[in-house]
C-alpha cells in the first residue's frame, strides 16, 4: 500500500508568504501541534483578562495533541473556533508561541517548531505542548467554578 503524496509546500513559505496567500496545506502546516488552543480559556467579563486552563476540549487527544475529529469539529463542538487568515489577528487568547500569531505579528517561528526542526515531535520534546499537562476534559466539568482548579500560568 502506497501512502498519499504530501501536498506541496513552498520552501520556507512562512517567511515570505502572507497568511492570506498560503495554500490550505501551508496553512495547516503552520500548526505546531501544541494543543494549547484546544484548552478552555476563561475571560474576565470586567477586565477582559484571559485565564488559561488545562481543561481540554472533548475532542482533544492528550497523547497526540490533536483533534480526534478535526474535519467535523465545528459541527460536534459549536464553540470551536476555526482559525483563518482573517481572524488570527483578532483572537486575543492565541498562545504567545502560536505560529499563526507569530506570523501575523511578523515574528519568526521558534526553533522547536516542526517547520524549523523538521521533526513533528520537537514541540513535545521542547515541552511546549499540552502533552502530559491535561488535567480534565470539558465534559467532566459539572459547573464553571471547577475550571478555576485547572488554571495555568499566564499566556502558556
Strand partners of residue 55: 136
Provide the pLDDT for residue 153: 74
What is the CB-side half-sphere exposure of residue 104 using CA atoms within 13 A?
A: 20
Q: What is the pTM of this model?
A: 0.88
Q: In the numeric block, which cell numbers belong to residue 101?
A: 500569531
In the chain (156 residues long), the average pLDDT of successive 10-residue segments reads 66 96 96 96 92 96 95 94 94 95 97 97 96 94 91 71
Distance (Å, rounded) from C-alpha 68 to C-alpha 59?
A: 5
Cell digits for 4? Answer: 498519499
Buried b (16+ CB within 10 A) or exposed e, 66-83: ebeeeeebeeebeebeeb
Amino acid at each position: 500500500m502506497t501512502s498519499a503524496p504530501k501536498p506541496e509546500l513552498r520552501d520556507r513559505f512562512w517567511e515570505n508568504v502572507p497568511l492570506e496567500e498560503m495554500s490550505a496545506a501551508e496553512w495547516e502546516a503552520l500548526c505546531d501541534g501544541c494543543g494549547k488552543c484546544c484548552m478552555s480559556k476563561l475571560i474576565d467579563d470586567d477586565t477582559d483578562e484571559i485565564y488559561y486552563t488545562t481543561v481540554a476540549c472533548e475532542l482533544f487527544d492528550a497523547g497526540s495533541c490533536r483533534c480526534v475529529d478535526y474535519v467535523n469539529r465545528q459541527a460536534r463542538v459549536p464553540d470551536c473556533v476555526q482559525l483563518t487568515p482573517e481572524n488570527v489577528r483578532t483572537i486575543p487568547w492565541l498562545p504567545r508561541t502560536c505560529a499563526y500569531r507569530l506570523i501575523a505579528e511578523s515574528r519568526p517561528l521558534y526553533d522547536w517548531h516542526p517547520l524549523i526542526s523538521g521533526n513533528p515531535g520537537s514541540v513535545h520534546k521542547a515541552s511546549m505542548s499540552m502533552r502530559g499537562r491535561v488535567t480534565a476534559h470539558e465534559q467532566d466539568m459539572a459547573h464553571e467554578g471547577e475550571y478555576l482548579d485547572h488554571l495555568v500560568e499566564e499566556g502558556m
